[in-house]
Structure 1
Amino acid sequence: MEVSKKKPAAGVPAAKEPAPTLASGKYTFSKAEALRRYLSRKQARSGKRVSKVKRDEQKKKPKFVEKPFNKGTRVVSLKKRPNNYPCKNHSKPKSKVQKKHGAPKVRKSLQPGTILILLAGVHRGKRVVLLKALKSGLLLVTGPYKINRVPIRRVHQNFVIATSTRLDISKVKIPDTIDDAYFRRKREKRAKKAEGDIFAKKKKTYKASATRKADQITVDRQLLRAIRPNPDRKILLKYLKSRFGLSTGQYPHTLKF
């Protein structure tokens, strides 16, 4: 049996539809939406709700004002600035392009021929002559070996003090073979543990190859020839032999090298 729905008469407002009924334990709106609606109703009742027109007016307010100052004017901000600012900038970089990290730049004071003081490693405290900077950014130095027993080796510029003393090594020719690959060691694979006396086997110690010894002799000869014409060669040789050290009351930042 069909029931006919009566339409409301003209001029009579239609009745409001009932709120959606849900199963028990379920809410019509989410908790966040319900809270937002509750606060908006509360603000409307109290009259604290700001209209869109008023908000636009507040945004258009001037941020700076001109005030008289010493027969003139100065611009003053209406909003008080904070006294302290954060030291670190925690904002992430906008560009996602990865930076290419190449070899570090060598300091201007580290020119070929400069006498350096080593601060780390087996030969720390000794004075060496800078030969050149390698592609990796490391410095190629030597004692010479005949004077202070420092062989040709690589050193990082952070562990070095550059002195004002400099030698003329323009005539010194360093072999082309001496580069970063020259100093790489070949590590052998560990052998399997064999039964027997543990103390019978001795650890292998590093020994310089014949090519390294030959290269050291050629570089040392050229450096000693470069020192000979120097008028203060005796003092210079003693200076290279001596070690650097600080006595009581001496501070490195007050010294001039």
Structure 2
Amino acid sequence: MTDAARSLYIAQPALSRAIRDLERELGMTLFARSGRGVVVTAQGRRVVKLAREALEAVHEIEGLATHGAAAEAELRIASTPTLEPGLAARLLPAYTAEHPGVRVHIVRCDGRDGVVSAIRDQRADLGLTDLPVPPDLVTHPLERQEIVLISPPGLDLPSPVPMARLHGMRLALPPRGTARRRELDAMLGKYGVTPAVALETDERHGWLQAARSGQASLLWYRGMAEQAVRAGLVVRSLDPAVRRVIAVVHARRRLTGIAQDFLSAIERGRAA
């Protein structure tokens, strides 16, 4: 309930009241309460299935309406903050050049879980994230990206950098409690590494500024490292190497023509 309320940007008590009101209106129990939380009842699952079918039909009708009015068409793509610069710089230009009448709206999400929620809640048509994702989503892998260490010049570090050398290193990291921070903590914890937190922010430009000023290093995808090199920073691989598969994901339902066009555009880009 807490996670659902957060994804809807409302307080958890307000969500609970809304569910109780809906149950009274429908005259059925959608969630069964237990000591460990709530579970969806058989009736609840049926309601969810029918509601999703109804929403899909509404979106299809909207798609028919916007298909003939390209100036009003919109493609919603959910993305993590880390991958958003690459989406804007490498994936969107070719698509928008072919479809100038489509407005692309990037739904910024907190990590992979946020992208999955945006797709499931139909707040986005497509998502860009690293894998794995739950099996109820369809994946279109784009590339395998390496996670690298980006540091201020002058640091006495080998290349590649052994994981153990990150222990005690001053790093710029996402805020505590975020999905991306939990993933990085788990990755570092696997090697017994505890960095010194120099900066906690979700703003990637803040990370680069911290590195340029010599305050901290950061972990980022190699695909984004060109920006760091232009800023005069040093990019090094890790040992052992850490790689993630980046993919476009969507729900297992018929996509709008606009979303299908986007997938076709990136497939052509990969083939080229």
Q: Larger Rg: 1 or 2?
A: 1
Which structure has greater strand proportion?
Answer: 2
Q: Which has the bigger relative contact order, CA under 8 A and spacing at least 6?
A: 2
What range is the shorter-chain TM-score in? under 0.3
TM-score by length of 2: 0.20
TM-score by length of 1: 0.21
